[in-house]
Amino acid sequence: MAETGDVIAETIAEEAAEDAAELAELEAQLYGGGNEGGSEDPGSGAGGQDGDDAGAAGPPMTKSQMKKKARLERMLAKRQEQRQREKAAKAAKRAEAKERKAAEYSTMTDEQRKAMKEEKQAKLNALKEAEKALKERLKASLESGPKVVIDLDWEDKMTDNDIRHLVQQLSFSYSANKQVEKPVHMMLTSFKGKVADTANKMISGLENWSITRTPQHYAELLGGSEEARSQLVYLTADSNIELEELDPTKTYIIGGIVDHNRYKGLCEGSARAAGISTARLPIAKHIQLASRAVLTVNHVFQILVEWYARRDWAAVLDAVLPMRKRAEYAQQSKDEQQQRKGDKGGDKGAGRSGQQHKEKEKGKDDAAAAGGGQPAAQADAEAAGAAGGSGATGAAEAAVVKDGAEAAGSAGAAPMEAEAAGAGSKSDEEEARGVKRKAEDEPAAADG
């Protein structure tokens, strides 16, 4: 039950963090400087000025820049308005719950109130015991747990928005470590500069985390000798070596970078330059991803944590990797989109067929109303002209059919009526094709 609550809380936290990051990104694009297509860094270009001053100091905006600014302002205003509505709804819900509990409490007897207080105190004590046990597990992981390093020495390769996303992933990683029975020793190396400043601002209680934080580079901290470096393994999707299982005596390093696949082979090249071996997770053996096997920092960290707890790659990968990254999910979504497009196309096709059928029936009715010795043939001829096509082609076919029908009518009405009666058992489409073939043959007979 507690694990389910933690998962729900983590999911809510992830969604809130994504919303906050999106809002921050909009603000950075809108107020971070007037240079179109420039850095996403809100500190670059503006020099600490507000958006209006920055725009006044720089060159006048083009029409496309003005449109983009207006669009971002609308998006930002809409998101802020949505946040205010959500806050108001949550506040109203809390107030309603408080009033409901107060009403229930007022109707209770003294014994019921006493029992409720005892139950509440028991839950509080259980929560305190669980928190105490968690702290003991995390403390023990610092002494004897397998080491997992997140290398944060990539600040120069990330924008401010990327750094914010990275800090969120660090928070999710620590949350994943708290949920297992035997946590790993989580280490943040090169924890300095903008990454450290952003983490201290965004993560409340970071100083209370049971982890190792250091401004030192991982190679300096853990790879002082050749023997020590042999115990380090840098995890990267670009490695040629695939892991079979994890070795608790080795230290696994995760590249702490959010790069949107801009820097392929970056971590592998850095590890090779430092004389450190690399490896990749055996993802392809168990799950087919929709794209290149580059995962977020928290997903890789959680995979390692869960493997130490379960020691089953298939189960771990299935539990950790989100469905949106899997090939079968992407293919299913693609098939559904194609099916929806096909359904729309089918509806349009059915509409055209229905219109043609109506035109054909109308032609028959008009021909029957006109009377004479050739009503069936002329109606069929007009129907064939309507179904034969559009534009010049349709008009030519209609003319040929009409001439053939008139020639057949002059040759004798009885044979034509017999053929029309026999054609009544055919489908509309077969009837139209038969009349067309007959019309193509009959003009030659009439000429002869």
- Positions annotated as catalytic residues are 259
DSSP 218-250: HHHHH-SSHHHHTTEEEE-TT-S-B-SS--TTS
Question: Could you tell me which residues come within 8 angstroms of residue 238 by beta carbon, excluding any fewer than 6 positions away?
Answer: 264, 265, 267, 268, 278, 280
Q: At which residue do the structure tokens 């708290």 appear?
A: 178
DSSP 261-313: T-STTHHHHHHHHTT-EEEB--HHHH--BSS-S---HHHHHHHHHHHHHH--H
Q: At which residue do the structure tokens 């809108």 appear?
A: 30
Q: Dihedral through CA 168, CA 155, CA 45, CA 78, nearest 10?
A: -10
CB atoms within 10 A of CB 336: 10
Beta bridge partners of 251: 232
Structure tokens at 203: 């993560």
DSSP 164-181: HHHHHHHHHHHHHHHTSS
Length of the chain as a residue count:
448
Q: At which residue do the structure tokens 């928070």 appear?
A: 171
Distance of CA 207 to the CA centre of its chain: 34
What 3-state DSSP class applies to 419? helix
Letter string b/e over residues 291-315, b meaning 16 or more CB atoms within 10 A of that residue's CB? eeebbbbbbbbbbbbbbbeeeebee
Q: Specify the long-range contacts of residues 109-112, CB closer than 8 Å, at least 24 apart.
A: none
